């Protein structure tokens, strides 16, 4: 049996990643945080016990601890960890405006430290698996080399921190066969701005499909790529 865990799985790309993993035969832990999660619950009911929904606030140590206990009770191996959970924060304020530092702190606790809590807590089961795969869903907004914005402080800075985190983890686990991927999912029609962003060029299902195809390629026995880069949903390398 292959196991995967996806954070931020209530809706959007996270929910679509859960669907795609189930279709690939994985048993999946899905982190449930925001909203009613009705579609996730219906999916759980139809999954023949291959989907387990976990209440999960990745910014909270107690919540993460309870989720880790639930995983440990079911399996000692986790083939794929997908750190997808993220929040956006203010998109308008520049350095010449009044900045909300408490909100920035919340964004960092989710986008940067939340993913690290999960990777740190699950590194044992990940490294005990056959795949040894951690997938961090980042963003082009975290790229310093291609930065064009003058705002989005919390989101851009937290995603840049996630990229550095990914490199540090890669440096540690790659000599042991561990794998890390850092992926920009594209401009997706999601609810990250509090309402559906219909301007996105990709649906959640399309974005998740691209991401999982890249994961499939990385897990193939004949994969020959080396090193770690920030890539987009089509596999193109982006500047760090």
Q: Are 157 and 171 in contact (CB under 8 A)?
A: no
* pLDDT of 200 higher than 70: no
Two tokens, residue 76: 């000692």
CATH of the domain at 29: 3.40.50.720
* pLDDT of 33 higher than 70: yes
Domain span at residue 155?
Answer: 3-238
Two tokens, residue 125: 């089961």
Mean pLDDT of 165-183: 97
Q: Are 189 and 196 in contact (CB under 8 A)?
A: yes
Residue 17 has a pLDDT of 98
Give the chain's domain count.
Answer: 1
| CB contact set of 47 (below 8 Å; sequence gap of 6+) | 22, 28
* pLDDT of 16 higher than 60: yes
Handedness of CA 146, 152, 155, 157 (dihedral sign): positive
Residue 225 has a pLDDT of 79
Q: How far apart are the first and last CA of the chain?
A: 36
* DSSP for residue 202: B
What percent of the chain stands above pLDDT 90?
84
* pLDDT of 127 higher than 80: yes
* pLDDT of 193 higher than 60: no
SS3 per residue for 172-211:
HHHHHCCEEEEEECCCECCCCCCCCCCCCCECHHHHHHHH
Q: What pTM value is reported for the model?
A: 0.94
Neighbouring CB atoms inside 10 A of 237's CB total: 9
Mean pLDDT of 109-121: 98
Residue 198 has a pLDDT of 60
Phi, psi of 31 (to 5 degrees): -75, 120
Q: Are 129 and 109 in contact (CB under 8 A)?
A: no
Residue 201 has a pLDDT of 76
């Amino acid at each position: 049996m292959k196991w995967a865990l996806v954070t931020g799985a209530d809706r959007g790309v996270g929910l679509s990643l859960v669907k795609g993993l189930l279709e690939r035969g994985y048993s999946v832990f899905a982190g449930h945080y925001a909203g009613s999660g009705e579609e996730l619950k219906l999916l759980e009911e139809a999954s023949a016990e291959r989907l387990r929904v976990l209440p999960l606030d990745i910014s909270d140590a107690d919540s993460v601890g309870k989720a880790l206990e639930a995983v440990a009770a079911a399996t000692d191996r986790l083939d794929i960890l997908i750190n997808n959970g993220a929040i956006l924060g203010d998109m308008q304020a520049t350095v010449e405006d009044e900045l909300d530092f408490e909100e920035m702190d919340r964004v960092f606790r989710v986008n940067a430290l939340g993913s690290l809590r999960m990777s740190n807590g699950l590194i044992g089961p990940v490294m005990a698996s056959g795949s040894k795969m951690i997938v961090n869903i980042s963003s082009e907004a975290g790229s310093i080399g291609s930065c064009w914005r003058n705002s989005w402080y919390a989101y851009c800075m937290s995603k840049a921190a996630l990229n550095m985190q990914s490199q540090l983890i890669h440096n540690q686990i790659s000599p042991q066969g561990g794998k890390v991927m850092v992926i920009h999912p594209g401009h997706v029609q999601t609810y990250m701005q509090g309402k559906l962003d219909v301007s996105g060029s990709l649906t959640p299902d399309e974005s998740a499909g691209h991401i999982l195809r890249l994961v499939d390629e990385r897990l193939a026995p004949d994969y020959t790529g080396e090193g770690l880069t920030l890539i987009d949903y089509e596999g193109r390398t982006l500047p760090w």
